[in-house]
Amino acid sequence: MHDLAPLARFGGLVATDLRDVTHDPEALDSAGFWAVCADFEGRLTCARFGDVRPGPVPAPVPGGWRGPAAGDWTSSLDRAAYTAGVRRVREHIARGEVYQANLCRVLTAPLPDPAAADVDALTALLARGNPAPYAGTIRLPAHGVEIATASPELYLRREGALISSGPIKGTGRTAADLLPKDHAENVMIVDLVRNDLGRVSETGTVAVPELCAVEEHPGLVHLVSTVTGLLREDAGWPALLAATFPPGSVTGAPKSSALRIIEALETAPRGPYCGGIGWVDADAGTAELAVGIRTFWIDRAEGVLRFGTGAGITWGSDPEREWEETELKADRLVAIASGAYESGASEASGKATSR
């Protein structure tokens, strides 16, 4: 599968003809169209492509994607460990160390035929079974980046000097499931994102045009807010990423305290999950990076497929409910990747991730 040509696919565009790969964010201020993946732990991969054209996601091909068996998924934190982690976060909140922290787990399953695994074939299945506003693919096998994302969340959009972010906090099966805790969570993260954007925005330009809007996605609803600012003339991509990464919605508040707690409680690196995934058009001065949630990635060294899921923990969190939220976020997508979604076996994935 390493002979698969490098490719990126975002928002109705397909990019081919790989010209350059770098880990230097300054490249994003230069020229050309770049596919970007920033791992949660900070590793940045920027790939410049020479040919970018409109291209719809291809229809799934029978046998094009051979995913893991639905029962083969294991979780970096099982139910007992995750709910214990939620209780630990609440202890940190009680001591005044943090207001909120996002606690995540990584699901892993062996691929039946790793050499034949193509993330673009998985993208085709996701586009049909779980369409998402920031869906995309980055396929760079030689550089250790093979990602298929169905992200619903905007990390950064750039249109010239105008920058915006769309943090999601609050998830339920329906709008009726959303609690006051979900709204409080969202407002806390909006404050954090305002602060992050404020570090690189012209004074007085940070605004919140939308607060706690209810957005419907396949199988669930989210509370989504929008934060905007005007980027200072002296601030480029290195400063913008340094001020805002990792995204606030997948860390917590205050961010520095939340990151310490995450490191202590989580047992697996998040990788591209909860990082930034998207594109930068340096010529046009435009960009769209998603928060790397609802994201699959291939780990070639292990011959496995990985997927992350998590929840924001506040003082009002119930440990069992937070576990169920992580199951809700994973269930449909893991079923699609396992080929179980259409056969009506989607519930199998929820049971599998509990292991």
Residue 329 annotated in active site = no
How many CB atoms are located within 10 Å of the residue 142 CB?
11
Residue 181 annotated in active site = no
Residues 176, 179: Cα–Cα separation, whole Å: 8
Are 115 and 138 a contacting pair, CB within 8 Å? no
Are 37 and 147 a contacting pair, CB within 8 Å? yes
Residues 228, 209: Cα–Cα separation, whole Å: 8
Q: Which ranges in the chain belong to alpha helices (H)?
A: 79-94, 119-129, 180-198, 237-244, 255-265, 319-337, 347-353
Determine which one of 146, 153, 288, 325 is catalytic: 153
* Residue 54 Cα distances to 57, 130, 235, angstroms: 10, 21, 31
- In terms of Cβ atoms closer than 10 Å to its own Cβ (0-12, 13-18, 19+), residue 71 is middle
Q: In sequence order, which residues have a C-beta less than 8 Å from that of residue 284 and are 6 or more positions away?
A: none
Determine which one of 41, 97, 146, 169 is catalytic: 169
Residues tagged active-site: 153, 169
